[in-house]
Structure formats: C-alpha cells, structure tokens
Amino acid sequence: MRIAVNTRLLLPGKMEGIGWFACETLKRITKDNPGHEFLFIFDRPWSDEFIFSGNVTPIEVKPPARHPLLWYTWFEYSLPGVMKRWGADLFLSPDGYVSLSSDTPSVAVIHDINFMHHPEFHPFLTREYYRRFFPRFASRAVRIVTVSDYSRNDIIETFGVSPDKVDVVHNGAGDAFYPLNGEDKGAVINEITGGSDFFLFVGSFHRRKNITGLLRAYELFRKRTGSDIKLVLAGEKMYGYPEMRRTISRMSFGHDIIFAGYKEPSRLRMLYGAALGLVYVPLFEGFGIPLLEAMNCDTPVLASNRTAIPEVAGDAAHMADPENPLSVAEGMERLATDDNYRRILVERGRQRRKMFSWDRTARLLWKSVERAMLEI
C-alpha cells in the first residue's frame, strides 16, 4: 500500500510536541513495515535526517503552509493533486489536518481541541480556521487518533463522531531523556544560574500554557519563602504573547527569570536533570510530553490538575490549580523544602514512566492505520 503522510512539521531544530510525535512514530513505522511505501509530503525542502528508510519517498509541495490562507491552499489545492498523481491509497496526518477536496481516505491525529473551548488562546484567523475546519476534518477522516482519553471524550462529545472511530495513542518520551549524575548536575546549575537552584518550565510560550499564571505563582513563592531559587523557561514565544512581557515587567523578581530558548533533546535533558523540579501548569493540554521527559530524568513534577494532565501524571506529580497562583506557589514551596517528598515523586515517576514509550505509540498508531485500511 502507498501511504501519503503530512510531514510538514518535521523541521530540524524547531520541533515541539506534534513534531516529535510525527518524528518518533514515523521513524519506527516506516522501518517496521518495509512492504509499504510512504510518501513524505513536505511544504519546504526536507532534511535527510527525516528520510528514515528506503521505503520513504520525500516530496516537496508548495506553498509553505504557515498561515490559515496557506493551510487552505496547501491542503485543498496542492495536496490533492499530488496524492492523485502518486496514487496514494491512504493519507496519514499527524497534525490532524486533512484534505476535504481529496478522495484519498484519511487518518487524522487530532491531539486536542482547545480552540473549541478557548478561542481566545489564538489569533483571529487561526481560531476561525480551526473552529470551521476541524469539525469537518473529524467527520471526513476514516479514523481519528488522539493522545489521551480526555481528548477522545472531548472529540466525541464536541464533534459528534462515533466512539468506534476514535483511537487513543498516548505519547512517549525519547531515549535522550535520562538522569544526570551529580557532577553534571552541578555543572549545569553553575552554567545556567551561576549556582542557584532553579525550577523549570518546558514548552511553547502559548497562552494555554499559562506562563503568566506560572510567573505570578513564582513571584508569590519568592515573597513567601525568601528563597533565591530561579525560574528557567525553555521554549519559544508563540503569537507574541504580550501578556507575558507585561507580567514580567511588573514583577519584583523578574530579574531571576532565565529564558533558555529552544533546546534540542540532548541539551534539554541537561536542564531537566539539573532542575529542582518541572513546573508545568497549563490551562488546557491534550497530553503534556514534558511530564514524561521530566520523569525519565528523575525530576519531580508539579503539574496542573486540568484536562488530560492528571491522566498522564497519575500519582507521580504534585497537582495544583493553574488558575490559583497560591496553589502553584505552595507546590513550589513544598518541592523546595521537602527533600523526602521530592524523592517520593521521583520514585513514583520511575513507575509511571513505564506506561509510556514511543515504541508503544508507534505500534498503536500503525494499528489504527491498519484498521483504516480494512475500512476503505
């Protein structure tokens, strides 16, 4: 079978959650299924690091699809012709977009539908595109894959699709994430903060990630404790996020916030391993890969009690209300002062992380693809 794959988010040095999902699953699926041909469809020149095996044919299709108008052009005009010309039997889309103009059956991976509940998290054109087209993508797809039971139930209820059509395929964490030894931990702390302990946030600076709420909690934590623990933010801004800049400008301890930028996994592992704890308190999340990455690095986790995060974290995180800065600040205070509690969370994380792996993710995604093959 010839399977076309939307690989426009395979971008060297720029991948985040959905990109890593695509990368980690596709490298396994293509190698494990040599009897099938995979057409990797990129919207710009590709990197050879993503051509995982000999049964992968890369194809560049213009224009680069990074804006709602270009999304529409790419998926509804450019993509259908390419799939027809190459004789694709199935289209797999790791970011959930499918072509409504193509007759090729599709499997859509819809990670979450936060835009249906919180349109204010997105610029006008982006949210209007999502809210107009994703219900239609869900209806058109032969099968839908999503990354948590929370998202599965949300998609079924919000879009009115059949429960039999939606499969849960949890995320994993890469092999690059494992604990640091003590010597390396000290070196990283000296490099990043000059010797001070630090809390870590990992992810895009998107409104749904609740960075402003985290900053307010950090300010409150510092005032309550008199601690000199710093806050390191690893990621990049999305949609500008002016509220974050305004919040920092009003903080007493804004000078102790360190922007580490985007980090490749090998470098990100160093930050996780040296951190006093991961503080991850989004308002809405379909999964939360940083939770697993932190657990793999033996880093205790303070997490939001909303949406899919409790499902992923289980009992291996201190849960806090992301809309209550005091709740988050109290969690930070406990991680900062209770060594035994941190050890308990680390041990629980070691057990919890065994439930998730990219190998398992790839196997389950391929099973969904096989089910779709039988249904077309």
Instruction: Please spell the DSSP secondary structure of 192-232, one letter per residue.
Output: HHSS--EEEEES-B-GGGTHHHHHHHHHHHHHHH----EEE
- AA identity, residue 357: S
pTM of the model: 0.94
- AA identity, residue 87: G
User: Element (H or E) spanning 233, and its range?
Assistant: strand 230-234
- Tens-binned pLDDT, residue by residue, of the chain (376 aa): 999 999 999 999 888 899 999 999 999 999 999 999 999 999 999 999 999 999 999 999 999 998 999 999 999 999 999 999 999 999 999 999 999 999 999 999 999 999 999 999 999 999 999 999 999 999 999 999 999 999 999 999 999 999 999 999 999 998 899 999 888 999 999 999 999 999 999 998 989 999 999 999 999 999 999 999 999 999 987 666 788 888 988 999 999 999 999 999 999 999 999 999 999 999 999 999 999 999 999 999 999 999 999 999 999 999 999 999 999 999 999 999 999 999 999 999 999 999 999 999 999 999 999 999 998 8
Cα four-point dihedral sign 20, 21, 22, 27: positive
Is 340 exposed, middle or buried, given 0-12, 13-18 or 19+ CB atoms closer than 10 A?
exposed
Domains recognised in the chain with CATH numbers: 2-172+357-375 (3.40.50.2000), 182-355 (3.40.50.2000)
CB 157 within 8 A of CB 116: no
Place of tokens 């702390």: 189
- CA dist., res. 135 & res. 164, Å (int): 17
Cα four-point dihedral sign 116, 77, 57, 142: positive
